[in-house]
Amino acid sequence: MPVAIAVDCMGGDHGAGVTVPASLGFLEKNKDCSVFLVGNESVIFNELKKLKFDKKRVSVRDATQVVTMQDEPTQALRGKRDSSMRVTIDLVKEGTADAAVSAGNTGALMGISRFVLKMLPGIQRPAIASLLPSLKGHTCVLDLGANVKCEAEHFLQFGVMGACLFSAIGGKTKPSIGLLNIGEEDIKGNEVVKAASDLLKKSGLNFSGNVEGSDIYIGQTDVIVCDGFVGNVALKTSEGLTQMLAQYLKEEFDKGYLSRFAGLMALPVIKQFRRRVDHRRYNGASLLGLRGIVVKSHGAADSFSFEFALEKAFGEVKNNMLNEISARMSEINEDVS
């Protein structure tokens, strides 16, 4: 089945200079796919002129406005109805495209997606989910910043959505689910987390109890649920730490002739290591809970990185993730009632 992806070409720090070549790179690898490139027509055609591509699989959709990083969600929603972001999501709503990808303002993307696409039945809040590398493979963590305050039932919904995403991308039928807490014992944590634990236990999901921050990267659990404040801090802390460690390693190899020689010898190994921990390969957070597939790329993504976000959207379409979430949510609602 051919799959069409709508791409917000104007979003992110680099706009069409990154999104257009990445989209064509993606098409090159996935012969069954087509893309809708959305944004300022002349800017997009200007980028397309520089590159070779299969014209039958590329459509350009003009949009006269751009959502900026400073725009409030409501501003973007009401004041910019012809933004590239809005037109991209509209293409999914009307069924022209199977998924949307944007590197733009997260809050605005969430607001527009929620307004245009609406929520799946049984899901009250959308969540941002991403797969992070672990010692065992990868861990799906959500919410990474959509909801700064959550109630217990939201954690349960995150569990269902995370499990479906992990199945769709990770290929495991009944992934294990952990609740991010400050200790493994049941008595730990605040009231909301304790109540969430009770709901998850009764849910029929493969719930393995409380986990700690370290478990994200140890990888004993497939899916880890948390509120968006905590998840965002965990994610950003990881980015900062990785940056510091990379800098330290560089500094050590730069100290004196002997170290520099050792660095030269070790270069292929270090390169391989860098490749493995390259955060660009993990680009693309899924906006879950919507009646449509939307993937958010990192704003600073380069073309290499943006392609991974497109691949992620394609994976969710291929594996029918939306139907999975709806089906599992209705099972859960039957169980609970």
Give the interface with a second copy as residue ranges (CB under 8 A).
72, 133-135, 145, 148-149, 180, 182, 187, 189-191, 193, 212-218, 226, 228-230, 232-245, 247-249, 252-253, 255, 258-259, 261-263, 265-266, 268-270, 272-273, 276-277
Residues 161, 142: contact at Cβ < 8 Å? yes
Residue nearer to a second copy on the CB measure, 50 or 250: 250
Q: For the CB of residue 117, give the shortest distance to a second copy in the complex, in Å.
A: 24
- Residue 26's Cβ-count burial label (10 Å; 0-12, 13-18, 19+) is buried
Q: Which two tokens stand for residue 168?
A: 């769709």
Q: Which two tokens stand for residue 187?
A: 């008595």
Residue for token pair 């002129």: 49
Q: For the CB of residue 182, give the shortest distance to a second copy in the complex, in Å.
A: 4
Residue nearer to a second copy on the CB measure, 118 or 271: 271
Q: Which two tokens stand for residue 110?
A: 């969430």
Residue nearer to a second copy on the CB measure, 241 or 327: 241
Q: Sign (positive/negative) of CA torsion 141, 144, 146, 151?
A: positive
Residue nearer to a second copy on the CB measure, 28 or 251: 251
What is the dihedral angle through the alpha carbons of 113, 114, 116, 122, rounded to the nearest 10 degrees? 130
Residue nearer to a second copy on the CB measure, 53 or 253: 253
The span from the CA of 276 to the CA of 250, in Å, is 17
The span from the CA of 256 to the CA of 275, in Å, is 26
Q: For the CB of residue 245, give the shortest distance to a second copy in the complex, in Å.
A: 6
Q: For the CB of residue 67, give the shortest distance to a second copy in the complex, in Å.
A: 15
Q: For the CB of residue 63, give the shortest distance to a second copy in the complex, in Å.
A: 25
Q: For the CB of residue 218, give the shortest distance to a second copy in the complex, in Å.
A: 5
Three-class SS state of 257: helix
Residue nearer to a second copy on the CB measure, 278 or 302: 278
Q: For the CB of residue 149, give the shortest distance to a second copy in the complex, in Å.
A: 5
Distance of CA 319 to the CA centre of its chain: 16
Residue nearer to a second copy on the CB measure, 58 or 218: 218
The span from the CA of 82 to the CA of 9, in Å, is 13
